[in-house]
Amino acid sequence: MKKALALSAVPLIVVGGLSFTLLVGAAGNSSAAPPCATSGPGIPTPSPVAGQLTGTAPVKLPASVGPYKSEQILNAAHIIKAGQDLNLPAQGLTIAVMTSMGESSLNNVTHGDIAGPDSLGLFQQRANGAWGSAADRMNPTIAATNFFHALLRTGGWQTLPPTIAAHQVQANADPYHYEPYWPDAVKVVSLLTADPSLLKQLPASGGEAPCGNGGIPLPGNGIGEKAYNAALTQLAVPYSWGGGGQAGPSLGFAQGAHTVGFDCSALMQYAYFQAGGKVLPRTSEQQMATLPRVPLSQLQAGDLIFFHNASHVAISDGHGGFVHAPDTGSVVAVVQNWQTNPYWSGSVDGAARPPA
């Protein structure tokens, strides 16, 4: 019989109309169905508490913020933590919470609506292959991470009105649908991020990820996905010849002397240093010559792919795409399905996987 964690809420304090609770973990017996059980055609049975804590450390969360209470606040916490794990700024975290408020009222729902009967979860993600399996869409952390990845692929999202940025990801019929939820989202994110240590007590995943992780495949050394996600946070940063490094974008030299940004190999240095303090060689030629090689048929998230006689390097997403800093006049960008593009497939030199 599987052990489950029973949660009890103990009131602590009331400040400014916000009541706080302590979520206390206590081991107990449960006969709940296994994570991959279904209720209806292919829809996973959710945990009794969405985003249920799996550890025993107490986590202090608000009991309510405006109309949102207990489980909804816990779901918001998992969304925010997923964004923090990707080094997203507060604006990105707030856009995600706003979106979930507009899609599901921060409830991890097991059904869709007339417009999207196959929609599931906090973001009402569709069964179109873009958002993973039904189990992925019902997992708060995986669903939020996939939302953030899509947001980061939206050019200029930080300069768009929040509701338009959300619309670019969700493709809602009304691009201004999310606008009324922005004030409450600001309150929730402000409150849950005021104490930087608070969300560090949450488990890595919002509930169990049924039947495999369903996310980007992790390299064996465990830092590849983090490196790829770090590279994603630099989308739209200008290319700068000789610019950038492990600390971030900087002025380059020659044609990059007046541009703050990255060249291709510096973006790789930044990604791996942010992921785990890993220091990579400076140039793409050096990176290819010194790092352990891997077959192109076994690419995983975080692997480096080299092109044009190792004069260019990109970081793989593990699913046929990559992030790179292309050349002067361009910006850090995502390329999808590179192996079907003759420009890239015809010039690839090989791949490498930085060790931990």
Q: What percent of the chain has pLDDT over 70?
A: 78
pLDDT digits (tens, 9 = 90+) for 300-355: 989 999 999 999 999 998 888 899 999 999 988 888 889 999 999 999 999 999 99
Q: For the residues 270-276, what does the mean pLDDT come to?
A: 93
138-159 pLDDT tens trace: 899 999 999 999 999 988 898 9
> pTM here?
0.49
H-helix or E-strand spanning residue 224: helix 224-232
- Give me the domains of the chain, ranges plus CATH numbers: 3-201 (no CATH), 224-352 (3.90.1720.10)
Tokens of 109: 């729902």
Give the β-pairing of 293-294 and 348-352: antiparallel
Q: CA-to-CA distance for 87 and 95, rounded, in angstroms? A: 14
Mean pLDDT on 32-59:
34
Task: Reply yes or no on whether the pLDDT at 257 is more than 80.
Answer: yes
Could you give the percent of the chain with pLDDT greater than 90?
53
What CA–CA distance (Å, rounded) separates 135 from 214? 8
- For 68-86, the pLDDT digits (tens) are 998 899 999 999 999 998 9
91-121: per-residue pLDDT in tens? 999 999 999 999 999 999 887 777 778 888 9
Please tell me the least confidently modeled range out of 9-13, 24-28, 158-162, 254-258: 24-28
* Contact indicator for 22, 55 with CB cutoff of 8 Å: no
pLDDT at residue 32 tops 50: no
Statement: residue 168 has pLDDT above 80: yes
The predicted structure's pLDDT at residue 222: 67
Whether the pLDDT of residue 130 is over 80: the answer is yes
Q: What is the per-residue DSSP string for 260-293?
A: EEB-HHHHHHHHHHHHHSPPPPSSHHHHHHHSPE
Which class for 150: exposed (0-12), middle (13-18), buried (19 or more C-beta within 10 A)? Answer: middle
Q: How far is CA 132 from the centre of its chain?
A: 13
